[in-house]
Chains A and B, each alone.
Chain A
Amino acid sequence: MPLDTSTYTLAHLRLDGRRWNELRRLSASISTSGSADGSSYLEQGNTKILCTVTGPQEQKQGGARRESNEAKVEVELNVAAFSGVDRKRRARGDRRSQEMQHTIASAFQAVLFTHLYPHSTVVITLHVLSQDGSLLACCLNAATLALIDAGIPMSDYVSACTVASSPTGSTSSGDLEATDPLLDLNGVEEQELAFLTIGTSGEEGKVLVLVMETRCRVERLEGMMAVGLEGCGRIRGMLDGVVREHGKNVLEARVG
């Protein structure tokens, strides 16, 4: 168990040496691929995601013509076979991938200014090169950067992170102060603890995505969400920094 180690009980340090509210090392760069309209590469710890965006473009030929005044956001998630510890080929269109694709698509459908591009499609392709926890959160972060690189207007950044409820451990049932919720989980922690993924947009932290597949006591939920909102705010700041850095580089390269 990741939190049963003596280092946690004594010094409150997780397996990788982080404290409860420390994010993993996040590094990202945008405009990584020349051939796509927008692209980005994001690493959060050992989770590495490469995202490319093409669009807005014409709808596919054939099939029912979608009557709409908005662009449609389509997401394709490719988890590479070598991404996990064991080599495993995911079948295209398995339920978990489809759910994640749908979550990401609806998150961006709400944030992008789709009314500017009627009858067109924005295709977001996510390649997961290595996964070590927080997959959905990293996908949302990477997609945000790629969409910004593609120049598609959106109301604000979408930033996401994971939060785990602190384990009850050996505390008695009446003791609720226990320990703090953990921010930004890696693979081992995700398997053992109950966690949620929260995605927000904007500085005030409007919640767009909230996914929880495990169970925890309902009293803890508020604390987890508070930690998550703060973590998302920090990630938003980092993503913003990456974009501004890139902008500065582009300007200086052009102007000299």
Chain B
Amino acid sequence: MPPQYSTALPLSPAELSYLHTSLSFDPPIRPDGRTATQFRPLIAETDVLPSANGSARICFADGTEAVVGVKCEVERSPSDRSILRSKEDDVKRLVTGGGDEEMRDESSGGEDDEVGNGSRGRGEGRNEWVEMAIEIPGYRDDDALPVFLSAMITEALVSDGELKNRLYINQRFHWRLYIDILLLSSPLSYPLPLLSLTTHLALLRTRLPALVSEKDEDPHFNDDWEAATLLYPQSDQTTTRPPVTLLVMSVGDNIIFDPSKDELAVADAVLTVSIGKTPSSGLRLLSVRTVDPPSRLTAPGVPNSTNSANGDTAPPMQEALMLREAMDEHSLWRPPRGGMKRALVGRMIKMVVDKNGVGEEVLEGLEGVDKALEECITAIEAKDTETAKQWEQERETYTPTTIDELIVMLNPINTALNGGRSSRVWMRTKDDVLNLKHRVVRRIAASDTINNFLMDMWAAEVHRASPSEVWLN
């Protein structure tokens, strides 16, 4: 059931032909002037929800927004394992029947952590322990779009087989991971990349309480949230990162990334490519799915020779069809027919998975969101003037002078995806940064959490506020 209040206007054959022709040039001319591999700027924040184990929010430039919250719960493992256990264990289990409730009281936030370091060798998880739910306004939960999107994202998530193993605690208990994706605006374009990026970011920041009990006893956790461990540990050699799904389209021989709604409307072929990262071997292709491009649903243009509106009579249908087939495809819009060339599919995948390719840029950009924020926070909390001086010394040519520019560059994913600059560029500012830091320090003291600070910064960017206004209240 389509959303009831969508205001999408279908494009006319002339517009479609114009877009298609522009995108077929070498290099392709995109409506907003981006290069073929350039992504649109976006705003990304993590840890926006105080009651979730991990959370993230991403806003795309076209106004679509998604929030993902990850919550975990301890669950008793199914009892068929009890056959292998001794009777003693059974009795213990009956006696401590209120184990779940005890655990909830013990651990702050109520969720358990997967087995971190202790029993890695014994961990064998099950994919059912990961549950995903997608909410899109205007769609019911059993409509095709949410179900399909949920299946695609879950498939990529469990495909590396590692995530479920991290959810194992001991023989009797395990973590159950709930990923709730909330699309906050009606989907203007195919929402898969947005949801996938937001899920990736949320999972990257998901933390589980530290386990202090041992082996098979009832799990007890450290009350201190600072001791919580990450679901995807940063420095571990053998772990992978959560996957990311990208949308790739082709027009003729051109391959185009991050297509906007208009560009999708004229695509010859659209693929969703899921990639995962292994620290050892770089990027790994997890899955490729084809998407039926919306261009196939468009109506073909009517050539002037068969157009009865000109005053002549229209030729009979057979003749009209033959005339249309004979016309040059660039002069009149025709919906794409046939499939994709295999070589083209190969090229698309290669562009994503290659070293220094698009996939790596995206993953690095997402990781950069956290790193930049952490560095910013530690520097500010430490009221570190030495760091500021260091920044001065490493000055580059581009020096943002206003808070507007600094805010934009505080989103390193912006810079990483738009020009390949590293995420440290935003720190190279001029002397004003010292004044900025003092004002920022005052502001953080007034607000409760870094999240509120970020929200204000984001609000300022959206409203294009002049610098002084942000700090007035």
Which A residues are within 8 Å of any B CB, using their own CB? 25, 27, 29, 31-36, 41, 43, 46, 48, 50, 52, 54, 57, 60, 76, 78, 80-87, 89, 92, 123, 125, 127, 129-130, 132, 241, 245-246, 248-250, 252-253
Contact = CB atoms under 8 A, between A and B. Distances in A.
Given A82-B180, A127-B184, A248 B137 contact: no
Contacts of A25: 447-448
Given A27-B452, A82-B55, A129 B67 contact: yes
Q: What bracket does the count of chain B residues touching chain A fall in?
A: 35 or more
Contacts of B473: 241, 245
Interface in B326-384: none
Given A32-B462, A129-B49, A249-B465, A82 B186 contact: no
27 contacts: A34-B62, A35-B62, A35-B64, A35-B188, A41-B455, A43-B455, A46-B50, A48-B49, A50-B184, A76-B137, A78-B137, A78-B182, A80-B135, A80-B182, A81-B69, A82-B70, A82-B180, A83-B69, A85-B109, A85-B110, A89-B133, A249-B464, A252-B465, A252-B466, A252-B469, A253-B463, A253-B466
Contacts of A41: 455
B455 A81 contact: no
10 A-B pairs with the lowest CB-CB distances in the bound complex, closest first: A82-B69, A34-B63, A35-B63, A87-B71, A29-B459, A81-B180, A35-B185, A253-B464, A82-B52, A249-B465
Chain A CB within 10 Å, residue with most, of B109, B141, B182: B182
B79 interface: no
A129 B48 CA distance: 9
Contacts of B5: 54, 57, 123
Contact of A86 (B73, B182, B472): B73
A82 B131 CA distance: 13
Nearest to A24: B448
Interface string B60-79: 00111101011101000000
B238 interface: no
Contacts of A246: 463
Contacts of A85: 51, 109-110
A80 B448 CA distance: 23
A23 to B, nearest CB: 14
Contacts of B18: none
A41 B458 CA distance: 12
Interface string B120-156: 0000000000000101010011000000000000000
Contacts, number: 112
A81 B64 CA distance: 20
B104 to A, nearest CB: 8
B178 interface: yes
B133 A33 contact: no
B51 A84 contact: yes
A136 B141 CA distance: 25
Interface of B: 4-5, 48-52, 55, 62-65, 67, 69-71, 73, 109-110, 133, 135, 137, 140-141, 178, 180, 182, 184-186, 188, 447-448, 452, 455-456, 459, 462-466, 469, 472-473
A246 B466 CA distance: 12
Contacts of A60: 4
A252 B469 CA distance: 10
A82 B49 contact: yes
A249 B461 CA distance: 11
Given A84-B51, A248-B469, 6 more contacts: A35-B63, A87-B180, A129-B67, A130-B51, A245-B469, A249-B463
A132 B140 CA distance: 27
B110 A86 contact: yes
A35 B141 CA distance: 22
Chain B CB within 10 Å, residue with most, of A41, A54, A82, A89: A82
Contacts of A50: 184
Contacts of B178: 81-82, 87
A212 to B, nearest CB: 26
Contacts of B69: 80-83, 129
A36 to B, nearest CB: 7
Given A32-B462, A87-B180, A249-B463, A81 B469 contact: no
A82 B64 contact: no
A245 B50 CA distance: 27
A127 B462 contact: no
A52 B184 contact: yes
Nearest to B183: A127
B396 to A, nearest CB: 28
A140 B248 CA distance: 42
Contacts of B186: 35
A46 B50 CA distance: 7
Nearest to A82: B69
A31 B463 contact: yes
Contacts of A43: 452, 455
Nearest to B135: A78
Contacts of B448: 25
A253 B180 contact: no
Chain A CB within 10 Å, residue with most, of B133, B137, B188, B472: B137
B65 A253 contact: no
Contacts of A36: 185
A48 B448 CA distance: 14
A29 B463 CA distance: 10
A57 B178 CA distance: 36
A84 B178 CA distance: 13
A22 B456 CA distance: 23
A87 B459 contact: no
A27 B67 CA distance: 19
Contacts of A92: 140-141
Contacts of B465: 249, 252-253
Contacts of A33: 63, 65, 184-185
Contacts of A31: 462-463
